[in-house]
Amino acid sequence: MLSRPQDFTALQAGTVRSHPLLSARFLRTDLETTRFGLATGRKLGGAVVRNRVRRRLREGLRAMAPSFKPGWDVLIIARPAIVEADHRTVVETLRRLLQRAGVVGGQASS
């Protein structure tokens, strides 16, 4: 996971892909792993709601982990519509965004 402020700042130079549920920033790195950061702002709701959204996103990423290509930093930004979306829709949207950016190689198991 991305944790240092410098990592998040570096993503400003990356490319952006958007969807009504999620927005994502991608930056190519020289690392052997793919790192993720999650942003859930207060517009989503209270702490319980934001934590639930983060758990759902992490679970979706965990399911796709075997198909990640190395060398990416990704920031996933949750939008307010994600709160009402079901888990399957969230995971499918996340998969599509990652495939469009080239982070996910093949089909991941669900």
pTM for the complete prediction? 0.90
Q: Check if the beta carbon of residue 101 is closer than 8 Å to that of residue 69.
A: no
Q: What pLDDT band is residue 12 in, cutting at 50, 70 and 90?
A: very high
Q: What is the pLDDT of residues 52-96, one digit of tens each?
A: 999 999 999 999 999 999 999 999 999 999 999 999 999 999 999
The string of DSSP codes covering 45-110 is -SHHHHHHHHHHHHHHHHHHGGGBPSSEEEEEEE-GGGGTS-HHHHHHHHHHHHHHHT-B-SPPP-
Where do the domains of the chain lie, and which CATH numbers do they carry? Answer: 5-101 (3.30.230.10)
Q: What is the pLDDT of residues 13-65, one digit of tens each?
A: 999 999 999 999 999 999 999 999 999 999 999 999 999 999 999 999 999 99
Q: How distant is the alpha carbon of residue 102 from its chain centre? A: 13
